[in-house]
Amino acid sequence: MNPLKIVVSHFIPSIMIIAIFFVLVHNSAQVPTLFWSMTSLLFYISSVIAIGVSWHYNRSRFIFILLPIITLFWAMTTWSQVQTRVLVELVPLIIPLHLMLFLFLKERGLFSLWGSLKTLFIIIEIAVVYYVINDAPEILTYLHIELFQAHLTGWTALGDLALLTSVVFFFLFLLFSFLHFQIIYHTAFTGMFLLLMIGMHFYDQELYMALAFFGVTLTIFGILLKESYRLAFYDELTALPGRRALMEDMAKLGRKYSLAMVDIDHFKKFNDSYGHDTGDDVLKMVASILSNVEGGGKAYRYGGEEFTVLFSSKSVDEALRSMDRLRQDIEFAPFTVRNGKNKKKILKPRKVSINISGGVVEKEGKDKDPLAVMKRADNALYKAKRSGRNKVVKG
């Protein structure tokens, strides 16, 4: 898939939540009063549920994100108007740093040393904000910096410094998303950041602010669902769909399709010579090339060094041409080995050639089910192995 399409597809849930928010706000008069009266309760209840689910799935970063947001919402709805106005200028300077920090920190558990340190950090963070607002008002003078002309910022309650910080971090989140580094998290965190800033913008309208913050918890639920799906259906090492996803997709196939079984040549020998870390790099390299299969194909990691490629509504000859192009791409792809299995003996980096063999078949009338087609493709793969390897043969 086109890289831009991948990023956009991950942004769709956040875009939908933000769009629904503005539709509800724009048509607030038509929305039942009961709904608006429940927005604060919805935020609190959904936050508690999100914390419980995050704990269950060992995703403590969301707990450490939600706890300060819950505290912030409570303060915004119970403190005096003067205090909340100061929060609107101070918090937008902290929120993006907080999100960025917990985005990059690894999962270390909630009741571990790292979890205790993170909890301590949040307590100190909240205490510092409380101290600045209530006991060190002189610090707040630094927040009232005029960076833009009044007609450019008059539309929002955010101060100039807070607005500048928000714009800078928004583009940073976008940049990381387009770099495809933890794309699920970066796109979702971008949406969460926007929703939090929208909530701060509506600080003097509790119902709208609660709705925006409720959108944050919905975004977290979306990430957890995506993570659950990814863990169940995708291979962690290669990022390709795994065997479970293959079985699901094979059950949906029509009457005409082709299937290829692929195996990395001499992979066990390669592992023994260069070590499992280098072997993992080989698997990732092969998977990345297979994922770009043309002709309507879709690649899966079947297990070990074996991969499967499905071609829906394609003939065996069409699939064979696509697979042979992939074989050549892998053969001529640069791959450098930087060390051997013996760590005491440092070897000079050298380039090696990675080869694959494959068998391609098309569904026939005699095939009772997709597993029978896969069996024939497996036989064709072994035929390619026996006839010299580094080739794709038709079964």
Active site residues: 305
Residues 6+ positions from 309 with CB-CB distance below 8 Å: 259, 260, 262, 290, 293, 297, 298, 299, 300, 319, 322, 323, 326
CA–CA distance, 83 with 91 (Å, rounded to integer): 12
Q: Residue 29: what residue type?
A: A
The tokens describing 336, both together, are 């450098």
Nearest one of 284, 285, 282, 286 to 271, comparing CA atoms: 282
How far apart are the C-alpha atoms of 114 and 95, rounded to whole Å? Answer: 21
Strand runs labelled E in 143-285: 257-264
For residue 119 the two structure tokens come to: 């909890």
Characterize the bridge pairing of strands 257-264 and 356-362. Answer: antiparallel
Residue pair 251/370 in contact by the 8 Å Cβ criterion? yes
C-alpha–C-alpha distance, residues 308 and 248, integer Å = 13
Q: Which pairing describes strands 392-394 and 356-362: parallel, antiparallel, or unpaired?
A: parallel
Look up residue 334 and give its amino acid: P
Secondary structure (3-state) at 366: coil
For the record, the structure tokens of 236 come out as 């962690």
Q: How many CB atoms lie within 10 A of CB 120?
A: 10
388: left (phi over 0), alpha (psi -120 to 50) or beta: left
Strands, E, within the chain: which ranges?
257-264, 297-303, 306-312, 336-337, 350-351, 356-362, 392-394
Distance CA 84, CA 75 (A): 7
